[in-house]
Amino acid sequence: MHLLLLGATGLVGSHVLELALADPRITAVTAPTRRALAEHPRLTAPKIDFDNLPQDAEIWKADAVICALGTTLKVAGSRERFHRIDHDYTVEIARLAKAGGGRTFVLNSAKGADVKSLFFYSRVKGETEKDVVALGFERTVLVRPGLIDGPRTEPRPAEQMFGTLLRRLKPVLPRSLQANRPETIARVMLEQAFSAVPGVTVVTSDALV
Ligand SMILES: NC(=O)c1ccc[n+]([C@@H]2O[C@H](COP(=O)([O-])OP(=O)(O)OC[C@H]3O[C@@H](n4cnc5c(N)ncnc54)[C@H](OP(=O)(O)O)[C@@H]3O)[C@@H](O)[C@H]2O)c1
């Protein structure tokens, strides 16, 4: 399988990349990024400008796509920029991948994703899911983690505090309220990329514990 991976430098995406490169079922990985990745014989990692996505079909040709691209409102700096990155980049890449013959799209979305949500973040995630599904891949998998709890290089104090709290409460919390580890999300997304079940599949946070 030829895998197209977006967000390969991120917390979840870097685990997907590691697992994919170690998986004998995967013959090639294309991971467009804005930062360099370590070289690997089965990895092609073109540095691209995400505001001007190359229309060159070769980059987007793959059997399956895993997308773990996204930012935070704080890093984005405005709602418009957040929407541009989390929604527009994702949907435009999905369109290019579909045109390139991609059959499966696995999207790292978020718990609570809903076009009608009261929360801007969840609305954008819901809109992204809806617009990716509308592209009509043979298989679309919407993976909806809760808080992603793992070591980050940049400080995210609120997430880190919440992560510590959820870890302490883990023995008494139902699975649906527990935090999700990036390596678990990555493993589930990669397995979903191989599944042959047609249509739309939703993976909720309790399946990512
Ligand atoms: N944090 C949470 O608790 C949480 C919970 C549920 C869902 N999610 C969602 O899960 C997904 C993966 O999360 P994560 O924690 O693995 O994310 P992350 O560590 O912040 O990584 C995000 C990835 O997106 C890329 N990216 C961000 N802004 C970009 C831009 N302007 N242009 C190009 N690439 C850009 C990053 O590239 P660079 O390395 O170049 O920045 C990185 O590869 C995201 O969509 C996130 O919204 C997060």
d(CA 139, CA 197): 7
Distance CA 142, CA 200 (A): 8
Give the atom of ligand 1 at the shortest distance from the alpha carbon of 152.
19
Q: Over the stretch 63-88, which tens digit does the pLDDT of each residue have?
A: 999 999 999 999 999 999 999 999 99
Residue 11 sits in a domain of what CATH number?
3.40.50.720
pLDDT in the model for residue 160: 93
Ligand 1 binding pocket includes 69 (Cβ within 6 Å): yes
Quick check: CB of 13 below 6 Å from ligand 1?
yes
**CA angle centred on 89, ends 18 and 209, rounded to 5°:** 45
Please compute the mean of the pLDDT values over residues 145-163 and round it to a whole number: 94
pLDDT digits (tens, 9 = 90+) for 26-55: 999 999 999 999 999 999 999 999 999 999
List the one residue out of 63, 26, 59 whose CA is nearest residue 45. 59
Question: What is d(CA 145, CA 208) in angstroms, rounded to the nearest whole number?
Answer: 7
DSSP 8-state symbol, 104:
E
Query: What range does the domain containing 80 cover?
Result: 2-208
Q: Look at the chain and report how many structural domains it folds into.
A: 1
